[in-house]
Structure formats: C-alpha cells, structure tokens
Homo-oligomer: A and B are copies of this chain.
C-alpha cells in the first residue's frame, strides 16, 4: 500500500468532506483526488518518471500539499527544501538531490529562478498566487488528463527529507511509502491524525512536524487547516474559525500561543488535542499550558525524521496523579504502537534498566537510509536498529527519559549535567518566563553551568535567588554558577526550536569546544 492508495480511499469514503483549508480556499477529498490525478498527468508529461525527484520550496499552502500526493502518483519522489536555507545551502540541496522539477511559491520564485539558471535540466513550477506566464503554474496542470496512480508502494522511495541543518551539512533522509504511512499510523494509534481531526498545520511542511500531517490526514481522510507558517495570532484565529481539534506544537509555539493577547478571548473549546515535542518542554511551561487549556489532552511526541518521525509517546495521563508524583511527566514517553525501543551501550548491548545509553528504535517506520551516504546509513542502522544519537535511560515500565538531546550535555568537573534538567528546575521559579542553560568555558572545570534567563514582565529575581532555587531542587554540581538576564527573545530554528548552538557560539569564539 502506498500513499496513493490512502488518497484513493479518502476520495472514495469522504468525497464531500473538506480535505484542505488554506486561506479562503476549501477543497474536498473528491476534488483533491481528481486534481492530484490530473497534476500527476501533467508532471508525467513534464518528464517525471519512477524515482525522479520533485523539489519544493515555499511557505505552506494547499498546492504544496497536493504536490506531496501528485508526485508519488506520477512515480516521483518528494523533496521538500528547508525554506530557511541560504541560497548556497539550497544550491547544495539541488546538487545533492538532483531534482527534475523545482516548485516554488511567490516568495521563493525569484531565488528558484536564480538557482535554476545554471541547470538547464531543472524545470520550474509556480505554486503561489501569481501566474508568471513564462513557467507553468500549478493551476494550469489541472487541465491535464488524469492518470492512474503508478502504484509505488512498500519499500519504494517516497521522499528525501533533509534533516535540520542546524548542525553541520544536512543529510537527506530516505523514507519509503511504508515508512511514512507507518509513521502516520503510529500517530493515529497515539490519538492524533484521526478521521475526526481538523488539524492545524502550523509547522513548516519541510519539517517532520509539518510533513506528517499531510500524510496522516490523508490516511484518515480528516481535514488539514494550512497556515503559511506559525504565527500565534493567525493560529488562534484559525482554531476559532475552523474549530480546529489538534496540532503539533513545539514548546516555544505553545508558549507564544498562550501568551498571545487574543488567547483569552479566543474560543478554544474545539482544540482538544495538543501534541508537543521536537524540543524539550520545561515543567513550568507545561503546567501553564495545562491550566490555560484545561480541556485539552497533551501528548508528547519524541522522535526524529529518520523515524517517520515519532518513536515514543507520553500520554496525557502521565502528566498528573501518581505518574506525576513519580516524575514520569519528565519522560519522553514509551514505545509507540508498532515500534520497539531499547537503550544500548557503545558495543550495542542493551544496558540494564535505569542506565544511560544511546536510544535506539526499530520498526517499519525507520528510514531506508541517508541519500547517497551508504557509510552513514550503515552506521546509523547497524544491527537493524536506528541509532538516534540521543542519550537516554529506560525505567522498568518502559518510559524512556531523554537525558542528552542533540548532545545538549554539559561536562563540568567530570560530572555530566543535562541542560534540560537544570532548565526545568529553573523554570519553576515564578519570575522566570524562559531560560536556556549552556556550558561556558572554565579554566578548571572545562565547562561551567551557565543560565540565560528572560523574566516575566514586571517580575524581579537576582542571580543568587535563581541559583538557590535550583540548588533546592537538584544536586549542587548541577546548579548554574552564573546567571545572565536578557529581554530579547531567544533565536529560533525554522521549526521553532531554540537555537542553542547560536547562543553558545559567542562564549566559545576562538576556542575548541567539544560541544559546538
């Protein structure tokens, strides 16, 4: 079964149900099914055959969504490019993936033209509102005759998804039709992407948190409400207007939503499922969110693109009661339906419960490999398990605690300090609105635990207060030795993760660091 079969089913069982809502455009599954078969016909006429790549560059819209379905229908492979990439990074991406077509919206078309200039084989496709005239526009493609789905399925390559790019050069994650469908199904089993979903897509399509709603909502024949990108005010307006039921929000997005001036006057009663993840949440923010949205279920998703993307989930009931008392709310979650998890040592032996090792996952949602990187593929997938590169431990009920996310660990005086633990403790101080804990250079300890804090408007706290607050909660060596106050927001990645690397960089300028 391929992604095309999911669309065929959606068009069959819910022909008049809204599939995509984008601005003032609503299209039903019947319409999307028909349009996709025509767009695929046009793509085929443009030369797209089995395994040819169709790259996409733009903010989210319903045409981009349709290309995610029409490309495999024509036999092609989707390649969503990171819209925050520089022109040089995009050129790298094109050289690496060698697409036959580059689709771009109004914002990115000028850059796409420059990128295509030196590549005669690369055809442009406009997917914005403007109709340039000299290159085909998405709506022109609808005039083509429909073609039957080419029947790509199972282990056939569905897409190449470039990883974050915040550390080193991006790798293209190859995901098969089975991989992405299993990933969508995992989410369904964990309580989202269901047929009663009106899903707010606020994350960028090129990121796992934005790509999977397209697959998942198609598989369940739900409805996707598409925002061009995340904006708290627009998200609130869309939730109220379309009675959105759910969305995946990274912690900074949760915070922006509940701190927005319109939050109090927005009807949020339909918004009952919030999936949070992609970066750690602090306890203070979690508690504020639980109070602000008392009718919502909060489900934490942990994973990575290579895992399509979720591997463990923390259900809502783990955030309170006995689970909370035992600290289970700090876990990433436990193995999702259809996924196996284990923690291994450096020799790939499973470690005893409670010991820290590398988090590994196995299942049909695990990637085929990295595009044109056989050695890195072999290393990541050794023994049939995806090695996440994240450190963690598992308790005796299978809860996985991520202790070393993207190497976010400080080694101070020989002791390992996990930033998220210190940030969580610091965030419970009433004056703290947001905080980041990093390692900064220290002559004796190599690294020193350093906190950077944004206080609530009108709130006051001094360095000694905050250090004492953490000392009362954690081992002494974990408490910050220094605290810095700032008012400007932290820099964010395209996926709204706090860019710790950027925050760390100035402290380490001119020095060798094992972390940056």
Residue numbers of A with Cβ under 8 A of B are 1, 5-6, 8-9, 12-16, 181, 185, 188-189, 195, 219-220, 334-335, 337-341, 362-364, 394, 396-398
A9 to B335, CA, bound (A): 7
Chain B residues whose C-beta falls within 8 Å of the C-beta of A185 in the assembled complex: 185, 189, 337-338
A83 to chain B, nearest CB (A): 31
Q: Are B364 and A188 in contact (CB under 8 A)?
A: no
Q: Are A397 and B15 in contact (CB under 8 A)?
A: yes
A19 to chain B, nearest CB (A): 14
Chain B residues whose C-beta falls within 8 Å of the C-beta of A6 in the assembled complex: 338
Chain B residues whose C-beta falls within 8 Å of the C-beta of A181 in the assembled complex: 338
A83 to B211, CA, bound (A): 49
Q: Are A219 and B337 in contact (CB under 8 A)?
A: yes
Can you show 24 pairs from A to B with CB atoms below 8 A apart? A1-B340, A5-B340, A5-B363, A8-B340, A9-B335, A9-B339, A12-B335, A12-B340, A12-B341, A13-B334, A13-B398, A14-B397, A14-B398, A15-B397, A15-B398, A16-B397, A181-B338, A185-B185, A185-B189, A185-B337, A185-B338, A188-B189, A189-B189, A195-B337
Chain B residues whose C-beta falls within 8 Å of the C-beta of A334 in the assembled complex: 12-13
> If A185-B185, A185-B189 touch, does A335 touch B1 (CB 8 Å cutoff)?
no
Chain B residues whose C-beta falls within 8 Å of the C-beta of A15 in the assembled complex: 396-398
Chain B residues whose C-beta falls within 8 Å of the C-beta of A397 in the assembled complex: 13-16
A189 to B13, CA, bound (A): 15
Q: Are B13 and A363 in contact (CB under 8 A)?
A: no
Chain B residues whose C-beta falls within 8 Å of the C-beta of A5 in the assembled complex: 340, 362-363
Q: Are B219 and A338 in contact (CB under 8 A)?
A: yes
A90 to chain B, nearest CB (A): 36
Q: Are A1 and B188 in contact (CB under 8 A)?
A: no
> For chain A, what secondary structure do more than half of its interface residues adopt (helix, strand, loop), or is it mixed?
mixed
**A185 closest partner in B (C-beta):** B185
Q: Are B340 and A13 in contact (CB under 8 A)?
A: no
Q: Are B364 and A1 in contact (CB under 8 A)?
A: yes
**A6 closest partner in B (C-beta):** B338
Chain B residues whose C-beta falls within 8 Å of the C-beta of A13 in the assembled complex: 334-335, 397-398
A18 to chain B, nearest CB (A): 15
Across the A-B interface, the 7 shortest Cβ-Cβ residue pairs: A13-B398, A12-B398, A13-B334, A9-B335, A5-B340, A1-B363, A1-B364
A188 to B337, CA, bound (A): 10
- A-B contact sample (10 more), CB < 8 A, given A1-B338, A1-B364, A9-B335: A9-B341, A12-B335, A13-B335, A13-B397, A15-B396, A15-B397, A181-B338, A185-B189, A185-B338, A188-B337
A15 to B195, CA, bound (A): 31
**A194 closest partner in B (C-beta):** B189
A335 to B12, CA, bound (A): 8
Chain B residues whose C-beta falls within 8 Å of the C-beta of A335 in the assembled complex: 9, 12-13
**A220 closest partner in B (C-beta):** B337
> Which residue, of A8, A14, A337, A398, has the highest number of chain B Cβ atoms within 10 A?
A337
A9 to B219, CA, bound (A): 25
A159 to chain B, nearest CB (A): 19
A511 to B394, CA, bound (A): 70
A9 to B341, CA, bound (A): 8
- Determine which of B9, B188, B340, B396 lies in contact with A9 in the assembled complex, contact meaning CB atoms within 8 Å: B340
Chain B residues whose C-beta falls within 8 Å of the C-beta of A219 in the assembled complex: 337-338
A185 to B13, CA, bound (A): 19
**A153 closest partner in B (C-beta):** B364
A398 to B10, CA, bound (A): 9
Chain B residues whose C-beta falls within 8 Å of the C-beta of A1 in the assembled complex: 338, 340, 362-364
A174 to chain B, nearest CB (A): 18
A5 to B385, CA, bound (A): 13
A397 to B13, CA, bound (A): 5
A195 to B338, CA, bound (A): 13
A8 to B350, CA, bound (A): 14
**A365 closest partner in B (C-beta):** B1
A455 to B318, CA, bound (A): 53
A439 to B13, CA, bound (A): 34
A6 to B336, CA, bound (A): 10
A355 to chain B, nearest CB (A): 15
A185 to B337, CA, bound (A): 9
> Which residue, of A14, A15, A189, A396, has the highest number of chain B Cβ atoms within 10 A?
A189
> Which residue, of A6, A13, A181, A219, has the highest number of chain B Cβ atoms within 10 A?
A13
Chain B residues whose C-beta falls within 8 Å of the C-beta of A339 in the assembled complex: 9
A179 to chain B, nearest CB (A): 12
Chain B residues whose C-beta falls within 8 Å of the C-beta of A195 in the assembled complex: 337
Chain B residues whose C-beta falls within 8 Å of the C-beta of A364 in the assembled complex: 1
A16 to chain B, nearest CB (A): 8
A1 to B16, CA, bound (A): 36
